[in-house]
Amino acid sequence: MLALYGHPFSSYTWKAQIALHALGLEYDFRVLEAEFPEHGAIVAQHGGPHAKFPVLVDDGKVVFEATSIIEYLNQRFPADLPLIPADAAAALDVRTMDRVFDNYVMNTMQGAVAEAIRHPGAPDPVVLAEVTAQLRRTYAWLEEWLAGREEGAGAITLVECAAAPSLFYADWVEQIGAEFPRLSAWRAHLVALPAVSQCIEAARPFRSYFPLGAPDRD
């Protein structure tokens, strides 16, 4: 059986889980907690230069980095609705948007989280303002991108795998307001997808971990 090492509250763990759920694959979720040191040992050994999770193990094959895990699953388990299109041009578009969500939403949002962890109760307002400005700039760009995007009914690709966790948590840092109606509606669509809602519910007990305070919505 497939084994995924990660944590239920981790956005990048969600990214890999959403792909697994979308493909209907059974997997053993090996949570990284103190009571399971053997799980941490696998990540320390196989999680790349900085021992990052998630890590996927498939019959001796080990893959780290969420995007690479999704690429692997797409090759290993062909589906009628693939996570990455077979057409090269369409695949390039999907991979480009994957990087947009990781680099300009997820990683930007993490700047505010890291600041709140470094300075509990007193994060630097300058840092938070910079994160907010960057997120709003990305929201505006995504609002225009969505204007030309045709939405598949419940279809999940690498784009949705990257977008769902990044927008879910970014909205907690800087709420996607009424000035971004397409993006707000698409986030609501993503949150309602069964492959995503499974992750949301599994992570619910850990919301107190969010250093900026988790909102009551969602």
Using the predicted structure, report yes or no on whether residue 44 has a pLDDT greater than 60.
Answer: yes
What pLDDT, on the 0 to 100 scale, is given for residue 89?
Answer: 96
Stretch among 34-43, 51-60, 209-218 having the lowest mean pLDDT? 209-218
Q: Which two tokens stand for residue 111?
A: 């700047």
- Could you tell me which residue, 152 or 89, shows the higher pLDDT? 89
Instruction: Work out the mean pLDDT of the chain and round it to a whole number.
Output: 95
What is the predicted pLDDT for the residue at 148? 78
Residue 33: the pLDDT is 94
pLDDT band at 1 (very low <50, low <70, confident <90, very high): confident
User: Could you tell me the domains of the chain?
Assistant: 2-76 (3.40.30.10), 88-209 (1.20.1050.10)
As to burial, measured by CB atoms within 10 angstroms (0-12 exposed, 13-18 middle, 19+ buried), residue 78 is exposed
Q: Which helix (H) or strand (E) holds 158?
A: helix 158-173
User: Judging by DSSP bridges, how do beta strands 2-6 and 27-31 pair with one another?
Assistant: parallel
Banded pLDDT at 84 (limits 50, 70, 90)? very high
pLDDT recorded at residue 153: 55
- pLDDT band, residue 217 (cuts 50/70/90): confident
List, for residues 184-193, the tens digit of each pLDDT value: 999 999 999 9
Structure tokens at 36: 């399971």
What is the chain's alpha carbon radius of gyration, rounded to the nearest angstrom? 17
- Please state, in angstroms and rounded to a whole number, the distance separating the CA atoms of residues 17 and 21: 6
Count Cβ atoms below 10 Å from residue 153 Cβ, excluding itself. 5
Q: Nearest Cα to 65, choosing from 23, 27, 99?
A: 99
Residue 205 carries which DSSP code?
A: G
